[in-house]
Amino acid sequence: MIGPNGVGKSTTLKVICGLVLPHFGEILFQGKKINGSQPYQLVRKGLSLVSEGRKVFSSMTVMKNLEMGGYILKKNIANSVNGKNKLKNSIKNIFEIFPVLKERRKQKAGALSSGEQQLLAIARALILNPKLFLLDEPSLGLSPNNVKIVFEKIREINKKGTTILVVEQNARMALEYADRGYIFEVGGIIMNDTAKNLLNNEKVKKSFLGEINYFG
């Protein structure tokens, strides 16, 4: 999802995840209405959100941050041995995707670089193996090199079968990695198409890829 600031992209993610109540309409997930569900209920249904701003527990180690992401997993199985083993296996899988976090697992999250903190926030949200993974501005405040690393990991996660919905100000980067794009303006979605078609669309080029504001 791309578009100017203040048109409702981040709010849309929060509405989907139950953090903001919609004024009207229905939200369907896997064919079922989820309006009114509490955020923790939606997590159990398979939704997971990484909010803007790399919200990690800076005073905790990388490992403890990941374990916090699996809290519901442990709680659902009443902290049984089976639950702990499932969490252990989930963290093992995370370390295969994010080897740098395995190397840093004993370090405090606050001591990580900004790029590593973003990877940790993403990894923590993946612990429960979500069906729908939502990311809000994953490139915000990162160096160009770290942006590329983060988006490569997002692509890797998607290739493993996880559906991902991203809000991103870096329109070109987002469309280069996405299958499909949704363009927001005040009032809602004004265009949606394959990412390839949007990258080649003259109106999109002029508005979001570096020239003039065509839609305004």
Q: Give CA–CA dist 165/46, Å, rounded.
A: 13
What is the CATH number for 108? 3.40.50.300
Q: Is residue 42 part of a domain?
A: yes
CA nearest to 133, candidates 73, 51, 53, 22: 51
2 inside domain = no
Question: Which domain range does residue 37 map to?
Answer: 9-208
Determine, yes or no, domain membership for 78: yes
Asked if the structure places residue 116 within a domain, the reply is: yes
Count of structural domains, the chain: 1
Q: Which helix (H) or strand (E) holds 121?
A: helix 114-126
Over the stretch 14-63, which tens digit does the pLDDT of each residue have? 999 999 998 889 999 999 999 989 999 999 899 999 999 878 999 999 99
Tell me how far CA of residue 191 lies from CA of 2, 8, 65, 101, in angstroms. 10, 15, 38, 38
Residue 47 lies in a domain: yes
Has residue 140 been placed in a domain? yes
The answer to whether position 3 is within a domain reads no
pLDDT tens digits, 149-191: 999 999 999 999 999 999 998 899 999 999 999 999 987 899 9
Burial degree of 6 (CB within 10 A; 0-12, 13-18, 19+): exposed
Q: Which residue has the higher pLDDT, 215 or 123?
A: 123
